[in-house]
Amino acid sequence: MRPERYDFAAAEPKWRKIWDERQVFTSGDAAKPKYYVLEMFPYPSGRIHVGHVRNYSMGDVIARYKRAMGFDVLHPMGWDAFGLPAENAAQQSGSHPATWTYANIASMRTQLKSMGLSLDWSREIATCDPAYYKHQQKLFLDFLAGGLVDRKQSKVNWDPVDHTVLANEQVVEGRGWRSGALVEQRELTQWFLRIGKYADDLLTSLDTLDRWPEKVRLMQRNWIGRSEGLLARFAIAGDPTGEIEVFTTRPDTLFGAKFVALAPDHPVARAAASSDPALAAFAEECRHIGTSVAAIETAEKKGYDTGLRVVHPFDPSWVLPVYVANFILMDYGTGAIFGCPAHDQRDLDFANAYGLGATPVVCPEGVDPATLIVSETAFDGEGRLVNSRFLDGLTVAEAKEEVAKRLETAQLHGRPQGERKINYKLRDWGISRQRYWGCPIPIIHCPDCGVVPVPDADLPVKLPEDVTFDKPGNPLDHHPTWKNVACPKCGAAARRETDTMDTFVDSSWYYARFTDPHNESAPAAPEQLSRWLPVDQYIGGIEHAILHLLYSRFFSRAIRDTGHGGVAEPFAGLFTQGMVVHETYRAASGKWVAPSELRFETGDKGRRAFLIEGGEEVAIGAIEKMSKSKRNTVDPDDIIASYGADTARLFVLSDSPPDRDVVWTEEGVQGAWRFVQRVYRLAGELANAAAPVGASAPAEFGAAALDVRKATHRTIAAVGDNIERLRFNTAIARIREYANELTAALDKVETVPVSADLAFAFREAADVFVQLIAPMTPHVAEECWSDLGHSEIVSLAPWPEADPTLVAQDMISLPVQVNGKKRAEILVAHDADEATIREEALTQEAVLRAMEGKPLKKFILVPKRIVNVVV
């Protein structure tokens, strides 16, 4: 006897056990076409959060749907397991980072498994596993051999208390986020990956990623920041060899130049500062402002006249002053510019501060050059050149070309004075971190041989286990013996590189490792890479729009170009899902209160919240991103324990479009819960009226049976289309609509057993209904599928096919408008000719009334859409 209510607590573990034992989700049937669906793998913080539930539920719907569509689906899971939190935990609790990390992985794996995700767990990887980072080290060495790695001095944010490098986002108001110490700018020798080599390819290939959000492509475009311009060299007056090279995108405005400005760290500026203490002090001041993001925003343009003068390239008698200025960046272009105040706002602000003047040299069409004055706002639009000697009358583009040509042929100090140049904002990727819990950089420093790669046979360079975290700085550096090693080349006493890699490196190739996760000799076999890559659908948060995705695109190219195989673009389809947000609650004391501590009432004064303990009323605040500090989080474990995984999955997929934020509400969860129960009930009711499994179709269908079948096939078509387009919320809405239709059809049944045609229609409906909901709520679907008499599980059932003849409507209802306002509705055959429709429309009482006896001016028929009568 089937129970009245669905007991998720019994059913969910039962079905997961069956999936697990039968290895239903293991990929590798080469006879089928492949489909690779991947969600961004989690950092093992210890607990999954609702954001994970949403992310992985979406991926799972796609995986289950594609599997049912006959694809060999790769849907793996792993752990982004290196990173600073493990070291922080080690400092605080004394547990070793590895112990802490693997314990977290174990508990999160249990949590993820309780969600019923159709993952191939046999491919699980963790980036902190030597079996994984061994290949990462090999890739690094291959990149090094392939000219994709650089070692150079670079400025870093140095925390003098923690003895570590900080990322920009770890510097808060000029201080280290953890230590609170004033951050210093230090020059350190660091390892860099030369992502800049691929700048142009990474930029132009964005156009091919037509299944990426336009927003992400735009962000990457801006980040890469290509600009075409000219390098131009200015001779220093009175110095036979001295010169300053500037980069400009506006060579056309050269006759509007009023000054040259240098970054404080420009070599010429440093040289000048060495004999001018005031300039040295000014440069030092600039460096300090550079550390604070807030300061840059409000900083005034400031400069210091070095006293140097440079000669205008087109007029030996024209000299320009050379300033050191706080707004010039050393690491973009050449660290030097020429300033044209009339046509650049920054230059104008600077010129106004130092009385340098502004001569307009570009005049917009239709403006009299004589009246052209620039005082507060620079003009950066199009126009024709004025006040520019041989450039006068040319367009901006023509003038740029002319200046470039002339400077390319002009000579200064025996070299061409100008050179066309394409610049990128994208910098090479510094990967050195002075930390323990990361992938060791496989390099040995020998006093005689210099930088020596660790030989392949010695890989992986494993992290030592006996480390301490009681001292600030890098534990690898403090380790008594680990860094001492013989040089592989000459055998002399040498020292290991003690820096480890940025954790973004770990996540830049994990999608490739999943294709062949247990390969010991290579990151992945080329045939596995070509079998699975690119990832067909990648799903994750928008916060990775730039770095992770750009680094991965770079790695995929670098892996291919160092002979490992694979593809240029790792992610053919990208979807960025929205966050899960929640109301906030605050007591009168100002303390944040967790939703689990509250009870709610709805009355005359609207919705109110009270503490369960004590009954104090608390204020219901804004809906915000879930965060521990505001205590507005919900624990997936609690939800799954009280409602089951299917309810949690259904809720995060319903209501809101997947790319937008979804508000977590108790009412919404209960709505999902009710529907899970309804699925179970409805399947049971349908079963009672349905023909047995495999019953053959009767020759004829009556009206009632036909209506049910039409609803069935229309829903198959709609849900499939919605899932393909990742519109899970509308897919679920269609299924709920279908449930309403089936309930109504069952209500109409007067006699049991029903006629054979209706029984067939109900059998078909019951099966399809369960199959359509299965990707979202797989456990209850399996339970119902079994109750419906199927011997095989629904997870292995092929997706139902919509019969086009049943999807098409034979009678359609056409709205009839008079002068654009709807007045009536007519029911006509889908293939009715215009004359029939016209006759029907024009005899409608409401239409005639609206026409008020006026003569018909025009009759518009949009087939299958609408009729409009114009009078």
Subset of 235-274 contacting RNA (CB under 7 A): 247-250, 263
The CA dihedral of 245, 248, 252, 257, to the nearest 10 degrees, is -60
Which region among 15-23, 76-84, 311-319, 810-818 touches RNA (by CB under 7 A)?
Answer: 810-818
Among 451, 486, 695, 860, binds RNA (CB under 7 A): 860
Name the residue nearer to RNA (CB basis): 498 or 507.
Answer: 507
Amino acid found at 123: R
CB of 532 to RNA, least distance (A): 31
CB 729 within 8 A of CB 658: yes
Looking at residues 327 to 356 of the shown chain, list those that interact with RNA (rule: CB under 7 A): 327-329, 332-333, 335, 337, 344, 346
SS3 sequence, 382-404?
A: CCEECCCHHHCCCEHHHHHHHHH
Name the residue nearer to RNA (CB basis): 106 or 294.
Answer: 294
Which region among 77-85, 154-162, 648-656, 687-695 touches RNA (by CB under 7 A)?
Answer: 648-656
**Per-residue binding letters, 287-306, with RNA (x by CB under 7 A):** ---------xx-x-x-----
How many residues touch RNA (CB under 7 A)? 77
Burial class (CB in 10 A: 0-12, 13-18, 19+), 578: middle
Among 241, 365, 700, 821, binds RNA (CB under 7 A): 821
- Is residue 145 a contact point for RNA (CB under 7 A)? no
Among 22, 211, 413, 849, binds RNA (CB under 7 A): 849
CB of 234 to RNA, least distance (A): 14
Among 657, 684, 698, 789, binds RNA (CB under 7 A): 657
CB 184 within 8 A of CB 514: no
Among 448, 825, 833, 839, binds RNA (CB under 7 A): 825
Which region among 82-90, 210-218, 304-312, 763-771 touches RNA (by CB under 7 A)?
Answer: 210-218
Among 185, 819, 836, 843, binds RNA (CB under 7 A): 819
Give, to the nearest 10 degrees, the angle between helix 50-68 and helix 645-653: 90
Residue 86, strand partner residues: none
Name the residue nearer to RNA (CB basis): 45 or 665.
Answer: 665
Looking at residues 702 to 731 of the shown chain, list those that interact with RNA (rule: CB under 7 A): 727, 729-730
Contacts 24+ apart (CB under 8 A), 51-54: 51/541, 51/579, 51/580, 51/626, 52/112, 52/636, 53/115, 53/580, 53/636, 53/648, 53/649, 53/652, 54/577, 54/580, 54/652, 54/653, 54/658, 54/662
412: Cβ contacts below 8 Å, ≥ 6 apart: 233, 235, 243, 313
- Is residue 167 a contact point for RNA (CB under 7 A)? no
Spell 434-458 as b/e; 16+ CB within 10 A means b.
bbbbbbbbbbbbbeeeeebbbeeee
Name the residue nearer to RNA (CB basis): 113 or 727.
Answer: 727
Name the residue nearer to RNA (CB basis): 390 or 600.
Answer: 600
Name the residue nearer to RNA (CB basis): 395 or 677.
Answer: 677
CB of 143 to RNA, least distance (A): 24
Residue 820, both tokens: 């654009």
Which region among 531-539, 565-573, 653-661, 763-771 touches RNA (by CB under 7 A)?
Answer: 653-661
Looking at residues 594 to 623 of the shown chain, list those that interact with RNA (rule: CB under 7 A): 602
Name the residue nearer to RNA (CB basis): 299 or 706.
Answer: 299
CB atoms within 10 A of CB 820: 9
CB 433 within 8 A of CB 490: no
Name the residue nearer to RNA (CB basis): 294 or 486.
Answer: 294
Looking at residues 98 to 117 of the shown chain, list those that interact with RNA (rule: CB under 7 A): none
CB 559 within 8 A of CB 567: no
- Is residue 229 a contact point for RNA (CB under 7 A)? yes
The CA dihedral of 652, 657, 658, 661, to the nearest 10 degrees, is -80
Name the residue nearer to RNA (CB basis): 121 or 332.
Answer: 332
CB of 197 to RNA, least distance (A): 17
- Would you give the DSSP letter of residue 472? S
Instruction: Say how far apart CA 524 and CA 392 lie, in whole Å.
Output: 61
- Is residue 854 a contact point for RNA (CB under 7 A)? no
CB of 732 to RNA, least distance (A): 6
CB of 302 to RNA, least distance (A): 8
Instruction: Say how far apart CA 395 and CA 5 lie, in whole Å.
Output: 78
Looking at residues 732 to 761 of the shown chain, list those that interact with RNA (rule: CB under 7 A): 732-733, 736-737, 740, 743
Looking at residues 540 to 579 of the shown chain, list those that interact with RNA (rule: CB under 7 A): 542, 546
Length of the chain in residues, anyone?
Answer: 871
The CA dihedral of 729, 541, 23, 764, to the nearest 10 degrees, is 10
Rama region for 307: left / alpha / beta (φ>0; ψ in -120 to 50; rest): left
User: Is residue 154 within a helix (H) or strand (E), and if so which, with residue range?
Assistant: strand 149-159
CA distances from 739 to 632, 688, 713, 729, 736 (A): 34, 16, 13, 15, 5
- Is residue 674 a contact point for RNA (CB under 7 A)? yes
Which region among 48-56, 113-121, 466-474, 845-853 touches RNA (by CB under 7 A)?
Answer: 845-853
Cα 648 to the chain's mean position, in Å? 23
CB of 365 to RNA, least distance (A): 18
Which region among 65-73, 221-229, 477-485, 752-760 touches RNA (by CB under 7 A)?
Answer: 221-229
Q: Given the DSSP bridges, would you call strands 574-577 and 429-430 parallel, antiparallel or unpaired?
A: unpaired
Name the residue nearer to RNA (CB basis): 487 or 816.
Answer: 816
Looking at residues 424 to 483 of the shown chain, list those that interact with RNA (rule: CB under 7 A): 425
Instruction: Say how far apart CA 600 and CA 579 lie, in whole Å.
Output: 24
Is the link from the previous residue into 33 a cis peptide, with omega within 30 of 0? no
Among 371, 521, 813, 855, binds RNA (CB under 7 A): 813
Name the residue nearer to RNA (CB basis): 380 or 458.
Answer: 380
Name the residue nearer to RNA (CB basis): 130 or 196.
Answer: 196
CB of 127 to RNA, least distance (A): 24
Name the residue nearer to RNA (CB basis): 141 or 257.
Answer: 257
Cα 279 to the chain's mean position, in Å? 44
Which region among 453-461, 529-537, 685-693, 863-871 touches RNA (by CB under 7 A)?
Answer: 863-871
Which region among 451-459, 513-521, 664-672, 835-843 touches RNA (by CB under 7 A)?
Answer: 664-672
CA distances from 308 to 77, 238, 240, 241, 684 (A): 61, 9, 13, 14, 90
Closest CA to 264 of 330, 346, 334: 330
CB of 468 to RNA, least distance (A): 36
- Is residue 870 a contact point for RNA (CB under 7 A)? yes
CB of 201 to RNA, least distance (A): 19
SS3 sequence, 528-541?
A: HHHHHCCECEEEEE
- Is residue 420 a contact point for RNA (CB under 7 A)? no
Which region among 143-151, 185-193, 456-464, 662-670 touches RNA (by CB under 7 A)?
Answer: 662-670
Closest CA to 537 of 277, 294, 728: 728
Residue 814, both tokens: 């056409």
Closest CA to 331 of 285, 266, 270: 266
Looking at residues 478 to 537 of the shown chain, list those that interact with RNA (rule: CB under 7 A): none
Among 104, 114, 157, 326, binds RNA (CB under 7 A): 326
- Is residue 677 a contact point for RNA (CB under 7 A)? yes
Which region among 10-18, 211-219, 364-372, 462-470 touches RNA (by CB under 7 A)?
Answer: 211-219
Closest CA to 644 of 44, 42, 105, 116: 116
Instruction: Say how far apart CA 310 and CA 305 lie, in whole Å.
Output: 12
- Is residue 846 a contact point for RNA (CB under 7 A)? yes
